[in-house]
Structure 1
Amino acid sequence: MTQLNPSALSVVLAGGGSAGHVSPLLAIAGAVRDRVPEAAILAVGTAGGLETRLVPAAGHALATIERIPMPRRPTAELLRVPGRLRRAIAQSKDILRSAHADVLVGVGGYVCTPMYLAAKSLGVPIVIHEANTKAGLANKVGARFTSRVGTAFAATRIRNGKVVGMPMRPAVAGLDRQAARAGARGRLGLESGLPTLVVTGGSLGALRLNQAVAGAAAALGAAGIQVLHITGNGKEVSGEGGSPLTAPLYHQVEYVDAMEDAYAAADVLLCRSGAGTVSEVAAVGLPAVFVPLPVGNGEQARNAAELVAAGAALLVPDAQLDAAWIEGNVIPLCLDADRLSAMGARASGLGIRDAAGRMADMVLAAAGK
């Protein structure tokens, strides 16, 4: 376990498993450091999550506790939960004591429930950020112990929730798409003056998006629209003969390190509607076509609902997205500059760029700093 010395401010941040949890955690940590450069920062996650790579890469210390998933059906595994939870709470208390924690910040995920319970037991103030429109179980538990709960969306229902937006990296939060466009397109190997569609299914890719865009690639090129297709790691799109797909004005890459460049380069983004993506396109004023992931409780459709209702984005159900839909809907959109300008303005009007700072102020208030 990582040992930290007492400092002017000691902040422990819990959450992990997915980028949807780790990204806002790191953004909040960065904003705290902007306000208190000497602050001690410790992130807490599990040994198998993305946090094991992303947190050290951001320069922060990381401690891990046992992962405790809750079985969805009565099984023998359910009988092991109480004992595992007790061990995780004990680990969490040790971490908070060793860190001399002034405040615990939770962003959701398996790790947060024992951390919230440990903080409540030790009298450590709790601050929560809920990224999704449907609040997670861990954050619902934690919200019973604090009045400081920030949400990314107004539609989120959680005790004491207050809309603060989605904490995001400064490179995205501060992006001026117009000013950055030429440079971004150059770095991505795109033409500077053509209508541009950027497609992404996230780091893992999305088969439905990849297949639909591959089928429409020739029509998009014939319409004079260049496409940057971010296929996902290991998800290269193949053409005839098994070689990488080629078409006029079509560019495919598996991954883009700096998504701010993709946002700046795009006139339209075709994408899933995870909470982070929806919040980022609103913040930067980027017209989007959302294809919600058709799993879970429909949370991705709910994430996109406000932008769609405002006319800032389109939404198509996953089962309806194909090459013909792109040709009939996305091509006309990409070529309609006036419509895109109006959509971008509506998106920007709903976006929140300073969420990380708002959360950092909440953290400082909770810690009495």
Structure 2
Amino acid sequence: MTGQDRVPQRGGPCVVVAGGGTAGHIEPALALADAVMRLRPDARVIALGTERGLESKLVPARGYQLELIPPVPMPRKPTPDLLKLPLKVRDSVRRTREILDQYHADVVVGFGGYVSLPAYLAARGRVPIVVHEANAKAGLANKVGAKFAARVAAAVPDSGLADAEIIGIPLRQSITGLNRMALRAQARQYFGLHPHAPTLLVFGGSQGAQSLNKAVSGAASAFASAGIGVLHAHGPKNTLAVQSMAGGPAYVPVPYLERMDLAYAAADAVLCRSGAMTVAEVSAVGLPAVFVPLPIGNGEQALNAGPVVSAGGGLMIMDADLTPERVVRDVVPLMADRARLAAMSNATLGTGRREADEVLARMVLEVINK
């Protein structure tokens, strides 16, 4: 739902969250929104977004109001679009200021990405700003916002934001409160997995990852021979044909995981990318992980996974090195070693921060009260 025709109601504090584009920006914003509403049921939360981002689906589905602003994509290389950027920023900032005034915003909370930059510029000098950085390296938007923010929070130390308070990443309560063992039987039945076999969960983000798809599906016969089941989210735009071996645990391909809580509960370990949100969720639920960092950007995915790997909770395989042979050599033996999986699970749990949502919510409410 959008709020263009709504008349804002006065009452409790109004929190505007800006974190559009990818799930890595949107999910922490929504987890914060949930925590704010638990602490202040009279609060109002308005989310900023664009028509292009996942927020157009995720935000209304979680019951929050979405206000659309013009997108301001940041070109990675010099292009003709770069010349249009000042005009696009101006239009987006103007629309954002209208929204802040319309809803009498008390604070703007940004999580990075192209929605946050106009939010920070629109709020500067008008509405207090709180910045949260999820990645190991801060992006451009949060570097700008942090210069005039009332409070700055980060998931990990050394993100590049001075004086940031280290709190972890806000996560949904369905993840932080997940009892994997209690849900295991239900989860295995839900996905059609073997009820008792060691099971590997594979996913490469909301759109899937071709390199993960090829490497893991190419090792399907080895998994079956070792008595290992696989739940593999290959992405809605990809296809994955895997021939299961008779008598072996099922290899279950799915386009997308609507129920991540059940996917985590069904699994004994996970092979995945290492976006900040993914690392935080995997750590919170205590899943041993084989991280395959996305081989683009400024290397932040490898940095995101570093603390978990160093603690003994995960392995890291570079994308270029991920082949069916490498999966057979490293992942199949891991899945067959229950003692090693248990030790890794304990190590992973030690790196997670389950309370970040309420820590950030209290920080936001303190800024409003001041």
How far apart are residue 64 of structure 1 and its match?
1.3
Tell me if 1:79 matches 2:83.
Answer: yes
Tell me if 1:5 matches 2:9.
Answer: yes
Could you tell me which residue of structure 2 aligns to residue 246 of structure 1? 244
- Name the CA shift for 1:83/1:234 in 2 (closer, same or farther; >3 Å): closer
Tell me if 1:230 matches 2:204.
Answer: no
Could you tell me which residue of structure 2 aligns to residue 193 of structure 1? 196
How far apart are residue 73 of structure 1 and its match?
4.0
**How far apart in 2 are the matches of 1:294 and 1:333?**
24
Q: Is the 8 A contact 2:180 2:264 kept in 1?
A: yes
Could you tell me which residue of structure 2 aligns to residue 39 of structure 1? 43
Could you tell me which residue of structure 2 aligns to residue 343 of structure 1? 344
Tell me if 1:109 matches 2:110.
Answer: no
Could you tell me which residue of structure 1 aligns to residue 280 of structure 2? 279
Q: Which runs of 5+ in 1 are unaligned?
A: 240-244
How far apart are residue 78 of structure 1 and its match?
2.7
**How far apart in 2 are the matches of 1:173 and 1:358?**
14
Quick one: percent identity of the two aligned structures?
A: 50
Could you tell me which residue of structure 2 aligns to residue 242 of structure 1? none
Q: Is the 8 A contact 1:5 1:100 kept in 2?
A: no
**How far apart in 1 are the matches of 2:153 and 2:226?**
44
How far apart are residue 207 of structure 1 and its match?
0.8
The residue type equivalent to 1:221 in the other structure is: A
Q: Is the 8 A contact 2:128 2:150 kept in 1?
A: no
Map 1:1-369; keep pairs closer than 5 Å.
1=4, 3-122=7-126, 124-238=127-241, 245-247=243-245, 248-249=248-249, 250-368=251-369
Number of aligned positions between the proteins: 363
Deviation sequence 1:251-289 (CA, Å, 0-9, x none): 211122111111111111011111111011111111000
Q: Which runs of 5+ in 2 are unaligned?
A: none
- Name the CA shift for 1:306/1:64 in 2 (closer, same or farther; >3 Å): same
1:350 aligned counterpart, secondary structure: coil
How far apart are residue 74 of structure 1 and its match?
4.1
**How far apart in 2 are the matches of 1:281 and 1:252?**
20
**How far apart in 2 are the matches of 1:78 and 1:211?**
36
How far apart are residue 77 of structure 1 and its match?
3.0
How far apart are residue 23 of structure 1 and its match?
0.8
Q: Is the 8 A contact 1:199 1:270 kept in 2?
A: yes
- Name the CA shift for 1:6/1:305 in 2 (closer, same or farther; >3 Å): same
The residue type equivalent to 1:97 in the other structure is: D
2:17 aligned counterpart, secondary structure: strand
How far apart are residue 160 of structure 1 and its match?
2.6
The residue type equivalent to 1:350 in the other structure is: T
How far apart are residue 70 of structure 1 and its match?
3.0
How far apart are residue 367 of structure 1 and its match?
0.7
- Name the CA shift for 1:113/1:332 in 2 (closer, same or farther; >3 Å): same
RMSD between superposed Cα atoms in Å? 1.5
How far apart are residue 91 of structure 1 and its match?
1.4
1:221 aligned counterpart, secondary structure: helix
Q: Is the 8 A contact 1:143 1:160 kept in 2?
A: no
- Name the CA shift for 1:75/1:201 in 2 (closer, same or farther; >3 Å): closer
2:124 aligned counterpart, secondary structure: helix
Is 193-202 or 79-88 further displaced after alignment? 79-88
The residue type equivalent to 1:32 in the other structure is: V
- Name the CA shift for 1:155/1:188 in 2 (closer, same or farther; >3 Å): farther
Deviation sequence 1:22-75 (CA, Å, 0-9, x none): 111111111111111121111011121111111111111111111122334444
Q: Is the 8 A contact 2:191 2:252 kept in 1?
A: no
**How far apart in 1 are the matches of 2:74 and 2:215?**
36
**How far apart in 1 are the matches of 2:198 and 2:227?**
7
1:11 aligned counterpart, secondary structure: strand
